[in-house]
């Protein structure tokens, strides 16, 4: 059996590496139009950082795992084609700012149709709007020259989380495979089940109809993001009342109906998926006339924007209503720890908000390159997933510095903002940092990972999300 995967990104690369590792008799080729990315996949400096990924790639690469730009050849030869291309939010036209832009997906489907001389199973790995399989089926059928070629479309959404992708792939809570309710659809489902059954217990491989599988992925992301927005909403109330959001989260999380996960208040959720998938869900709801349902889910995104804005406003108000010309150290730019991914990271909105008020930000992140940070801070909203956006906000960059260690970032700074929960931030020498900073020295812990009592002992004025306010902020002495 030969598998090709179109799209060598955060999903295509790790998922196919795991398939190759667990199924040594299957040849797996990951193809991409991005030459640089493929070159990196073929080197020891992979294009994405994910714990444990390099080891798996090294074990399989050249054996039964290959990375190539020759999309036509490998897609043409494959029995199963996974499509794992990006599905960003549309930036213009009907549905701009909400609907999924399926340009890349349609391009992949046209490519599959044009090179197919044998029947194939086409697997939706990307997150797509419900009913995409119907549209893709039409593109495939109408563009393939060979009448004997049959396409069977499956939906097999990916539930991995960046930072723990390899463990999630090795031992997923479940794998979901949706297919048509026809004999050939069911046969295709069983073919894909047999691939995953190499390492995943059968009871964890769920099968469903196509539309349920497509919608389940959007729903999963909407529910996960909803929990974050819910606890973030409560964090605002905690600050206003003297309650502690961590105590509240612990108290509710011990209820087995609620559960303890995804209850950490933070500066907001990020990542390429949550916002885009909820907006997409809202758009689908609106398109079928479900205005109230769309509005309900839209609040999850609004609350996230509010949380980021609230954080910026807190920094400014705490620092005597002005950050003009003040150096502010930003610890962490990635959207979460253990990844170098910055797509939709709250750090972008927080930095832009502070810079707009005149601050000079100095960023340190252990995994994000300066080039990426400059790129993110000059890209207009929603344009980050397109290679050729115009750098319309590049004046932002005059007030951005990127450094390679935490101490350099703190030197002369008025404040430190923790925006990513990197473990190494917990053990930094804050006493040394304090001595190098301008006084009064502030810490705004946007992830609640530091020992706030200890920091206050050192002399910092500490603001933590959803926690009782620093006495300094309350009494002003
Ligand atoms: P990505 O942007 O890292 O990778 C997509 C790749 O597809 C890019 O390298 C791009 O060059 C390539 N591509 C686009 N059109 C192509 C074409 N016609 N032929 C060949 N290559 C093409 O995106 P990522 O993060 O891997 O996401 C892919 C999909 O998976 C998205 O729909 C996303 O919503 C979904 N997803 C992402 C997760 C994540 O944690 N990043 C988790 C679960 C699902």
Mean pLDDT computed over 316-340: 96
Q: What integer pLDDT is reported at residue 379 of this predicted model?
A: 83
330 in Cβ contact with 351 (< 8 Å): yes
164 lines ligand 1 (CB under 6 A): no
Cα 85 to Cα 102: distance, rounded to the nearest angstrom: 9
Cα 86 to Cα 63: distance, rounded to the nearest angstrom: 27
Q: What integer pLDDT is reported at residue 471 of this predicted model?
A: 73
Told to judge if 5 belongs to the known catalytic residues of this protein, a careful annotator would answer no
Flag whether 7 is marked binding: yes
Write down the CATH superfamily of domain 224-475.
NAD(P)-binding Rossmann-like Domain (3.40.50.720)
Flag whether 162 is marked binding: yes
One fold for 2-200 and 224-475: yes
Strand order in the sheet with 442-445: 400-402, 360-364, 327-331, 415-418, 442-445, 461-464
Flag whether 12 is marked binding: yes
336 in Cβ contact with 329 (< 8 Å): no
146 phi-psi bin (left φ>0, alpha ψ -120 to 50, beta other)? beta
- Spell out the residues 6+ positions from residue 272 whose beta carbon is closer than 8 angstroms to its own: 10, 86, 341, 343, 344, 385
160 lines ligand 1 (CB under 6 A): yes
- 34-67: pLDDT as tens digits: 999 999 999 999 999 999 999 999 999 999 999 9
Residue 309 has pLDDT above 70, yes or no: yes
**Phi, psi torsion values for 176, nearest 5 degrees:** -115, 130
Q: What is the Å distance from ligand 1's center to 457 Cα?
A: 47
Q: What integer pLDDT is reported at residue 382 of this predicted model?
A: 67
Question: Which residue puts its alpha carbon closest to atom 18 of ligand 1?
Answer: 108
12 lines ligand 1 (CB under 6 A): yes
Cα 416 to Cα 425: distance, rounded to the nearest angstrom: 11
- 93-142: pLDDT as tens digits: 998 988 889 999 999 999 999 999 999 999 999 999 988 999 999 999 99
- 367-422: pLDDT as tens digits: 999 999 999 999 877 666 665 555 555 667 889 999 999 999 999 999 999 999 99
459 phi-psi bin (left φ>0, alpha ψ -120 to 50, beta other)? left
CA 443-449-455 angle, 5° bins: 40
Q: What integer pLDDT is reported at residue 396 of this predicted model?
A: 76
Q: What is the Å distance from ligand 1's center to 469 Cα?
A: 42
**Phi, psi torsion values for 35, nearest 5 degrees:** -60, -40
Strand partners, 124: 83, 155
Placement of tokens 């489907």 in the chain: 109
pLDDT tier, 469 (very low <50, low <70, confident <90, very high otherwise): confident
365 lines ligand 1 (CB under 6 A): no
318 in Cβ contact with 326 (< 8 Å): no
Q: What integer pLDDT is reported at residue 211 of this predicted model?
A: 95
9 lines ligand 1 (CB under 6 A): yes
Tokens of 444: 């705004």
Residue 82, class by beta-carbon neighbours within 10 Å (0-12 exposed, 13-18 middle, 19+ buried)? buried
Listed in order, strand segments (DSSP E) in 264-409 are: 327-331, 360-364, 400-402
- Which of 159, 218, 272 has most ligand 1 atoms within 8 Å of its beta carbon, as the pocket-test mutant? 272
- Spell out the residues 6+ positions from residue 416 whose beta carbon is closer than 8 angstroms to its own: 328, 329, 331, 409, 410, 433, 437, 441, 442, 443, 444
- 345-363: pLDDT as tens digits: 999 999 999 999 999 999 9
10 Å Cβ neighbour count for 290?
14
Q: Which fold has domain 2-200?
A: Rossmann fold (3.40.50)
270 lines ligand 1 (CB under 6 A): no
Name the active-site residue from 23, 144, 273, 417. 273
Is the peptide bond prior to 68 cis by the omega test (within 30 degrees of 0)?
Answer: no
Which of 301, 168, 228 is CA-nearest to residue 447?
A: 228
Which of 104, 98, 69, 100 is CA-nearest to residue 86?
A: 104
More reliable by pLDDT, 73 or 391? 73
Q: How many alpha carbons lie under 13 Å from residue 122 in its C-beta half-sphere?
A: 32
- 283-299: pLDDT as tens digits: 999 999 999 999 999 99
- Which of 7, 84, 280, 340 has most ligand 1 atoms within 8 Å of its beta carbon, as the pocket-test mutant? 7
Domain ranges of the chain: 2-200, 224-475
- Which of 86, 140, 176 has most ligand 1 atoms within 8 Å of its beta carbon, as the pocket-test mutant? 86
Which of 313-317, 397-401, 455-459, 469-473 has the least mean pLDDT? 469-473
More reliable by pLDDT, 334 or 395? 334
Cα 55 to Cα 227: distance, rounded to the nearest angstrom: 34
Q: Which alpha helices (H) appear in 23-79, and where do they start and end?
A: 35-41, 53-60, 71-77
| Complex confidence, ipTM | 0.98
Residue 247 has pLDDT above 70, yes or no: yes
Element (H, E) at 297: helix 291-318
Q: What integer pLDDT is reported at residue 199 of this predicted model?
A: 98
Cα 462 to Cα 460: distance, rounded to the nearest angstrom: 6
Mean pLDDT computed over 178-201: 97
Q: What is the Å distance from ligand 1's center to 259 Cα?
A: 31
162 lines ligand 1 (CB under 6 A): yes
10 Å Cβ neighbour count for 461?
19
Mean pLDDT computed over 295-315: 98
Give the C-alpha distances (Å, rounded to integers) separating 266 from 269, 344, 431: 7, 15, 24
Cα 4 to Cα 30: distance, rounded to the nearest angstrom: 6
Q: What is the Å distance from ligand 1's center to 83 Cα?
A: 8
């Amino acid at each position: 059996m030969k598998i090709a995967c179109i799209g060598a990104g955060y999903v295509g690369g790790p998922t196919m590496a795991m398939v190759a590792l667990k199924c040594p008799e299957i040849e797996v080729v990951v193809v991409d139009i991005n030459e640089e990315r493929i070159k990196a996949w073929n080197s020891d400096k992979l294009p994405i950082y994910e714990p444990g990924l390099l080891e798996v790639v090294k074990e399989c690469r050249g054996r039964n795992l290959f990375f190539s730009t020759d999309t036509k050849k490998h897609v043409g030869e494959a029995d199963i084609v996974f499509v794992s291309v990006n599905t960003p939010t549309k930036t213009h036209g009907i549905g701009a700012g909400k609907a999924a832009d399926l340009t890349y997906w349609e391009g992949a489907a046209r490519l599959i149709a044009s090179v197919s001389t044998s029947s194939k199973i086409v697997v939706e790995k990307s997150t797509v709007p419900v009913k995409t399989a119907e549209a893709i089926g039409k593109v495939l059928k109408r563009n393939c020259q060979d009448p004997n070629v049959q396409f069977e479309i499956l939906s097999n959404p990916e539930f991995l989380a960046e930072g723990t992708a390899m463990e999630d792939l090795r031992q997923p809570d479940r794998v979901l495979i949706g297919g048509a309710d026809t004999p050939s659809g069911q046969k295709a489902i069983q073919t894909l089940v047999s691939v995953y059954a190499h390492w995943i217990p059968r009871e964890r491989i769920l099968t469903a109809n196509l539309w349920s599988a497509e919608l389940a992925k959007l729903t999963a992301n909407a529910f996960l993001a909803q929990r974050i927005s819910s606890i973030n909403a409560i964090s605002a109330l905690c600050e206003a009342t003297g309650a502690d959001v961590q105590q509240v989260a612990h108290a509710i999380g011990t209820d087995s109906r609620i559960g303890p996960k995804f209850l950490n208040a933070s500066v907001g959720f990020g990542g390429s998926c949550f916002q885009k998938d909820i907006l997409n869900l809202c758009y689908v709801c609106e398109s079928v006339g479900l205005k109230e349902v769309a509005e309900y889910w839209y609040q999850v995104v609004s609350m996230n924007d509010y949380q980021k804005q609230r954080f910026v406003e807190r920094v400014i108000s705490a620092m005597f209503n002005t950050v003009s010309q003040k150096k502010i150290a930003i610890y962490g730019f990635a959207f979460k720890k253990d990844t170098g991914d910055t797509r939709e990271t709250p750090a972008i909105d927080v930095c832009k908000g502070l810079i707009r008020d005149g601050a000079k930000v100095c960023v340190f992140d252990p995994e994000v390159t300066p080039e990426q940070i400059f790129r993110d801070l000059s890209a207009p909203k929603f344009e980050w997933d397109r290679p050729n956006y115009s750098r319309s906000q590049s004046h932002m960059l005059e007030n951005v510095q990127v450094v390679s260690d935490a101490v350099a970032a703190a030197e002369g700074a008025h404040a430190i903002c923790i925006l990513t929960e990197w473990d190494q931030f917990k053990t930094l020498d804050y006493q040394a940092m304090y001595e190098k900073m301008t006084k009064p020295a502030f810490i705004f812990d946007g992830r609640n990972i530091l020992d706030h009592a200890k920091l206050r002992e050192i002399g910092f004025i500490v603001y933590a999300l959803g926690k009782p306010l620093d006495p300094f902020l309350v009494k002003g002495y």
